[in-house]
Amino acid sequence: LKNPEKNMHKIFIQPEQKLKAYYNFSNGNTLVVKGCYDALMFNPDKAEARLFEFKGHMKSDITVPLSQSLIYSWLIWKKSGIFPSVEIIYLDEIEKKPDIFEPSFVEKMIKTQLPELFHSAFSVLLSKRVPEILRDKKLCSVCPFKNSCIKDWGGKQ
């Protein structure tokens, strides 16, 4: 970068910045997608970006943090036109290497996997299905939606 001291704000993007974009389905419906990534480094001179996702648990099934990171990557791509590389860091496993996914892999996954994920999310929102969870009085007492909740949950006990 030219004059790196003057351009540091271009490299280290504010953490947990909220992004928003619209996914348009072929039938004319639109899904609003929002998210706040953990950290992002961006090199405008090389048109490169690296998304960092921090997890506070030990590494297990990669599909959940990868899906989450792909959504953030899609939002970054919609905003910048750049597919970022992704680095998933597990804070409980400092000695192990993070999972790193190159931009070409991220682009392929976004194009092949996200449409299905967005369709599934939209169908849940469209049907207004109530999540299948058990009612718990302790959880209900601290829930921010306790005043507007019907507390029926489909008759489950």
124-142 pLDDT, tens digit per residue, is 888 765 555 555 667 777 7
Residue 157: pLDDT band (50, 70, 90) is very low
Q: Which residue has the higher pLDDT, 46 or 137?
A: 46
Q: Is 88 exposed, middle or buried (0-12, 13-18, 19+ CB in 10 A)?
A: buried
28: left (phi over 0), alpha (psi -120 to 50) or beta: left
| pLDDT at residue 98 in the model | 84
Report whether 58 contacts 65 (CB < 8 A).
no
Say whether pLDDT at 77 is over 90.
Answer: yes
pLDDT, average across residues 75-83: 92
Q: Is 43 exposed, middle or buried (0-12, 13-18, 19+ CB in 10 A)?
A: middle
Say whether pLDDT at 112 is over 50.
Answer: yes
pLDDT, average across residues 2-17: 56
48-55 and 85-90: which strand pairing?
parallel
DSSP 41: E
